[in-house]
Amino acid sequence: MLHLLVFSPMQKNPLDILSTYWGFTSFRPTQEPIIQAALDNTDVLALLPTGGGKSICFQVPGLVKGGLTIVISPLIALMDDQVKSLKSKGIKATAVTSAMGFREIDILLNNAALGAFDFLYVSPERIQTPLFKERFKQMPVHLIVVDEAHCISEWGHDFRPSYLNIQSLRDARPTIPIIALTATATERVKEDIIEALALNNPYIHEVSFYRENLSYEVVRTPNKMGSIIAYCNGKDHMTGIVYCSTRKAVKELAKVFMSNKLNASMYHGGMSPEERSSSLNQWMAGVTPIMIATNAFGMGIDKPNVRYVLHYDFPENLESYVQEAGRGGRDGLQARSIVFIDGTESESYHKRFQLKFPPIQQIKSCYEHLLSYLRIAIGSGKNETYPIDLNLLAQELSISYIELYNVIKILELNQELHFNESTFQAPRVRLLVHGLDLYNFQIKYPETHPVIQIIERITGQDELHAATFQGNKAASILKISEQRLNELLTFLDLNGIIEYSPAIHLPTVTFLNERRPNDYFQLSYESYTKRKELAQLKLDSVSSYLSSTRCRSQHILAYFGQESERCMVCDVCQKENIPIERTEEFILEALSIPLGYLELIERIPLPDEDLKHVIRDMQLTQKIQLIDGKFYR
């Protein structure tokens, strides 16, 4: 283990950079060896838990080494957040996103080649384009970072085929060191990352997933919603998260919380960015102590004082569960992760599994219909992006929304398209013409002059970056209708004066291949079958965990190839270590306030049947009594 950062006299001091830009005087022990390896031009595979400060592990050495650091990340939201954070520190950073037009990307990549940036964030799909490949050869790149590196492995919980193309960067520039980062990875996934990225004798940094201050618990209950409400009751002073698998469940649970006068926010992918931001801000500020959310919530969010993480639905794999549960107790104080199950999980998983892997013929039929629906001609469509209304398309195909969603995800795995689930992109505008040419155009078309004036004010005459355009506000200033404003913007776009991207309120698909005749489309049966088998193995691991009689921490760590002593705080360890004769003492202690039955059994870590027997005996001996649905001592 390295504890002192060593750097050449020609290099900047990493601690000075840390202090100048981040305001810290020392690195965490887990960060130092990663940074040192990067400064030594050694490839790195780093497994750092969520909240482990992984961004500093590549941002500091990137600044020390100078030149350009390329960061490959799968999520636009995360890229935008990191770029904003770096810019706020005075660090030159930018990201290539799907909202940009070709010319804007061309100018941005050209500036990157000329040394205009310290950090360039790109998606794995972007690096496959001919334009990026050509510009990459000219860029002064000193470091390549692969974030969420588990996406490169078919054994990973979020496999993305586009990640496999990252090796082309290593092939093109073999001397540039690579840092691969992930929060969770099994032994098989680690091997795949090293092989797929062609890491050369990498330094592997892995910390134990064991969390001494976090208890993993599984609660069996006939009423999951009632048990969650009972648990959250009286905990307004604590911060918590409740995870659900669907938007529908989030909305239903939020309504029940509201009817029970429990203060909670909700967060899911169907909300607008403004709605999600408002919910997040209220939760972060403690205005609402509870966040009810899908797994869309959590990436890049670090709130240290989360005291409990509850799961109304368990994720489809243990990797996701560990990441979600791990958002509790980051301040080092005690926290609980509790999964609520009602015995219907096996049937539910089976149904979801069948929907996730529809018949191959149905996949082909949906793909053909999608291409026709978007009016894409044979021989065209490659690298083109289209918004799609999944609900409308599912109705036309006479299948459910979730079936169509899963078909598109399989097509993505087959590298036919890239699916962006983001439900909203603000309208953007960029001014392409300036000076005398723009003046002459306005003389010829005077009705465009007021609109151009607003665009100039918004963009600052910056040819490189498109700016967010608030159409309703602009229409109000110009005292015209939004419809008329859109007509003028379209006219300016068609004449090459601006590049205008209207607002997108729907998911988008980007086709990676040109459309072929229907008979030429092939879906790899071998690949489809393999992924189905891997998904089944992960579901089996979930079922094994939920029914396990082994210490929860030991079970989780064994899945990731690690070991630990028994935690002594999970539900399994507690049940084995609380003598039945002491149960009455625990019940009386819990009844310091009146509790309903569900509230009471949630607080006593004993098998349900044993607990029911003790409660009946205590009622008969009048040690406790039931009045209006509440137990009193």
Is the separation of the CB atoms in 409 and 419 below 8 Å?
yes
Separation between Cα atoms, residue 268 and residue 599, nearest integer Å: 28
What integer pLDDT is reported at residue 1 of this predicted model?
41
Based on DSSP, count helices (H) and strands (E) in the chain, helices before strands. Answer: 26, 21
What integer pLDDT is reported at residue 356 of this predicted model?
86
Residues 578-633, CATH architecture: Orthogonal Bundle (1.10)
Helix (H, G, I), strand (E, B) or coil at 277: helix
For residue 257, give both structure tokens.
């919380």
Which residue ranges in the chain fall short of pLDDT 50? Answer: 1-3, 9-10
Fold classification of 210-343+547-571 (topology level) = Rossmann fold (3.40.50)
Provide the residue count of the chain: 633
Residue 348's identity, in one-letter code, is: S
Separation between Cα atoms, residue 609 and residue 381, nearest integer Å: 62
Separation between Cα atoms, residue 399 and residue 15, nearest integer Å: 57
What integer pLDDT is reported at residue 428 of this predicted model?
82
Q: What is the CATH number of domain 14-206?
A: 3.40.50.300
Cα angle, residue 318 at apex, residues 607 and 548 outer, rounded to 5°: 25
What integer pLDDT is reported at residue 196 of this predicted model?
95
Is the separation of the CB atoms in 34 and 205 below 8 Å?
yes
Is the separation of the CB atoms in 33 and 203 below 8 Å?
yes
Separation between Cα atoms, residue 96 and residue 325, nearest integer Å: 32
Beta-bridged to residue 145, according to DSSP, are 71, 179
What integer pLDDT is reported at residue 559 of this predicted model?
93
- DSSP 3-state percent helix, strand, coil across the chain (nearest 5): 45, 15, 40
Separation between Cα atoms, residue 627 and residue 121, nearest integer Å: 61
Question: Could you tell me which of 444, 426, 428, 425 has the C-alpha nearest to residue 436?
Answer: 444
Tokens 């419809």 locate to 483
- Phi, psi torsion values for 511, nearest 5 degrees: -80, 130
For residue 502, give both structure tokens.
């209207």
Region label for 261, one of left (φ > 0), alpha (ψ between -120 and 50) or beta (otherwise): left
Angle between helices 401-413 and 345-356 (to 10 degrees): 60
Region label for 435, one of left (φ > 0), alpha (ψ between -120 and 50) or beta (otherwise): left
What integer pLDDT is reported at residue 401 of this predicted model?
83
Separation between Cα atoms, residue 234 and residue 252, nearest integer Å: 21
For residue 174, give both structure tokens.
């073999």
Chain centroid offset of residue 306 CA: 18
Separation between Cα atoms, residue 496 and residue 485, nearest integer Å: 17
